[in-house]
Structure 1
Amino acid sequence: MTLQTFQVTAFPSLCPVPLRLSCPSQKLSIMGRMHAPGKGISKSALPYKRSPPSWQKISAADVEDHVCKLAKKGLTPSQIGVILRDSNGIAQVVGVTGQKIVRILKAHGLAPEIPEDLYMLIKKAVQVRKHLEINRKDKDSKFRLILIESRIHRLARYYRTTRKLPANWKYESATASTMVA
């Protein structure tokens, strides 16, 4: 069997060396799950129609006010979305307002300084570290902490390149508990 060479044209900076694939039909997977064998294919399907349903009588200004009110209570953007969906019947904030929840919060100066997914990973790492202080021989938790922190570093690098975090921002386990508290 001969190996064929394919050049990745979508991301030449990521892969300057041509990739060798066993057959041309083999798919190039840029990114899958980091610490699990899954390919990350499953996802929820958004409705095709982007406009709000006809029975929904709430205005965009009312939704924005409600989002800001919930953010002032200290809720995260995903918690705000769940509350709006479950108790107010607003399936997609984008359909009503034309903006995502985080953009609404940024416009009103209420957006969190650390993105929510990174914040939750840091919170998880702090909890595992606290557990390891009590249970020093827990090797599995120590291994999981390494995986969590590598995800934190990868996500922080992404947010620094997209300028959602300052260029000098760095995760340090010693100061992580003050970020979360």
Structure 2
Amino acid sequence: MARMHTRRRGSSGSDRPTADEPPEWSDVDSDAIEDRVVELAEQGHDPSQIGMKLRDEGVTGTPIPDVKLATGKKVGEILAENDASPALPEDLRNLMEQAVRLREHVRENGQDYQNKRALQNTESKVRRLVDYYRGDEIDPEFTYTYEVAADLLEE
């Protein structure tokens, strides 16, 4: 797939091997996995960080290579069931953080035209994602501005 704001093609990566069931060496109970997911979310970890922590640390020392194979549910579904899902979707939050950092940088360095362009591109991506999530994940009247993003990220 092509990149959004350049004429270059995207970079391809390797695919995860297909599997229908978890490996035999990872025999952790699905309830224990769900409890660990909720515990990590309460500690302030994002869903992608939770997946990496379960892959690396696991539950009681046994790594979990794939949460969906082990439990039948994705990390986001587990968080939604236990009312532990984040207020903003992770991709939108990360882009807002990047836009706020870029805005502060451009304010201090007015002649940095490359980062002015990067700020325009990032804010364009944020607005596009806000349109995508509006109504389902975020408030229907939500509109992106720097002030709103800075306030949301302070919380």
Give the TM-score, by structure 1 length: 0.77
Against the structure 1 CA distance between its residues 40 and 164, is the aligned structure 2 distance closer, same or farther, given a 3 Å change threshold?
farther
What pairs up with 1:72-83 in 2 under 5 angstroms? Answer: 72-83=42-53
Unaligned 5+ segments in structure 2 are none
Count, aligned residues: 150
Aligned ranges for residues 11-160 of structure 1 at < 5 Å? 32-40=2-10, 42-88=12-58, 89-160=63-134
The structure that is helix-richer by fraction is 2
Unpaired segments of 5 or more residues in structure 1? 1-30
Q: Which has the higher contact order (CA 8 A, sep 6+)?
A: 2
Q: CA deviation at 1:126?
A: 0.6
Structure of larger gyration radius: 1
Q: Name the amino acid aligned to 1:34.
A: M
Q: Spell out, residue by residue over 1:21-49, the C-alpha distance to the aligned partner (whole angstroms, 9 max, x if none).
A: xxxxxxxxxx7321133343624413221
After TM superposition, the score normalised by the length of structure 2 is 0.89
Give % identity: 37
Q: Displaced runs of 4+ in structure 1, greater than 4 A?
A: none
Q: Give the Cα–Cα distance (whole angstroms) in 2 for the partners of residues 83 and 155 of structure 1.
A: 27
Superposed CA RMSD in Å reads: 1.6
Letter in 2 for 1:74: G
